[in-house]
Structure 1
Amino acid sequence: MQPILSVILFSAFFWISSADDDKYYTNIYDNIDLDEILNNQRLYKNYIDCITNKGKCSPDGKELKKNIPDALSNNCSKCTQKQKDGTDKVLKFIIEEKPDDWKLLESIYDPQGAYKKKYKEQAEKRGYKLA
C-alpha cells in the first residue's frame, strides 16, 4: 500500500492520466526529472497551486487533479512501479520540506483522516511519519 498523499504528490509530478483501457495510468511521464520539479520553486508551486485549488491548472494538471481521488481510493493500483517509487520520493520531500503544503493537501483530499489512518503503518515502514 502507498501512504496517503503519496499518490496525490506522485500525481502532481507524474501527471497521472488514465490509459485507454483504464487498467493503468499512462506511463508517458515516467521519465520526468522529479528532482528538477522539487528543486524549482516555480514548477513546484504551479502544481501544488493547481491541486489545492489556489491557481490555474495546465491541461496535464487538470488531468492529475481529476485522477487523485481514484488513485487514493485504490492504493495506486493503476500505477507502474516507477510511479510508485517516484511517489515515495515526492511524499518524503513534501513531509520533510513543505509541511504547510502537506497539511493543506490533507485538508483537501483526506479531511476525515481515513486515508491517513489506512496508510499510516505503511508510511512508517517507508521512512516517513504521518503526524
Structure 2
Amino acid sequence: MKCVIVLCFVMVCASVMARPEDSKYTSKYDNVDLDAIVKNDRLLRNYVDCLLGKKKCSKDGEQLKGILPDALKTKCSKCSDVQKNGAKKMINHLIKNKRTWWDELEAVYDSDGTYRKEYEAEAKKEGIQL
C-alpha cells in the first residue's frame, strides 16, 4: 500500500491523469525534479495536506487525489517505470524522514490495513520497512 500511495504521490510530480486511449497516467510531469520536492518540506507538506483534504489542492494535486484510489486498487497498473521509480524515492523519503506524514496518509487511504498487507512483501523487497 505504501508503495502505491507514494507512487501516486509522486504522480503529482510525475504524472496524474489517465488517458483513455492507452489507459496510462499522463507522462506530463515525468520530468519534475523529485529531489527538489523532498528537500522542500513546505512543498511536500502542501501535497500531503492536499491528499488529506486539509488544504486546497493545486491543479496537479487535485488530479492526483482523484486517481489515487484507482492506483491503489490496481497496483498502479497504469503507471510508467519512471513513475514507479519516483514512487520508490518518495516512499523511502517519507517513511525514513517524515514518518508521521506517511502515517497520516495511511490512515486516510488504508484505514483498514488492506493495502498494507497487500504491498508489505513488495515493500520489503525494495528495502522499505513498513
Return the TM-score normalized by structure 1: 0.92
Runs of 4+ in 1 over 3 A off after TM superposition: none
Given that 2:15 and 2:28 are in contact with CA atoms closer than 8 Å, whether structure 1 keeps it comes out as: no
Query: 2: CA distance between counterparts of 1:104 and 1:39?
Result: 20
Given that 1:23 and 1:78 are in contact with CA atoms closer than 8 Å, whether structure 2 keeps it comes out as: yes
Paired amino acid for 2:55: G
- How far off is 1:22 after superposition? 5.4
Paired amino acid for 2:72: L
Query: 2: CA distance between counterparts of 1:74 and 1:101?
Result: 23
Deviations 1:58-115 (A, max 9, x none): 1111111000000001011100001000000000000000010111001000001000
Q: Which has the higher helix share?
A: 2
CA 1:4–1:61 in structure 2 vs 1: closer, same or farther (change >3 Å)? closer
- How far off is 1:10 after superposition? 2.1
Partner SS for 1:49? helix
1:66-77 alignment to 2 at 5 Å? 66-77=66-77
* Percent of residue pairs identical: 41
1:117 match: 117
Q: Aligned-residue CA RMSD in angstroms?
A: 1.7
Return the TM-score normalized by structure 2: 0.92
**Number of residue equivalences:** 130
Partner SS for 1:112? coil
Query: 1: CA distance between counterparts of 2:95 and 2:13?
Result: 15
Paired amino acid for 1:77: S
Query: 2: CA distance between counterparts of 1:4 and 1:118?
Result: 10
Paired amino acid for 1:37: I
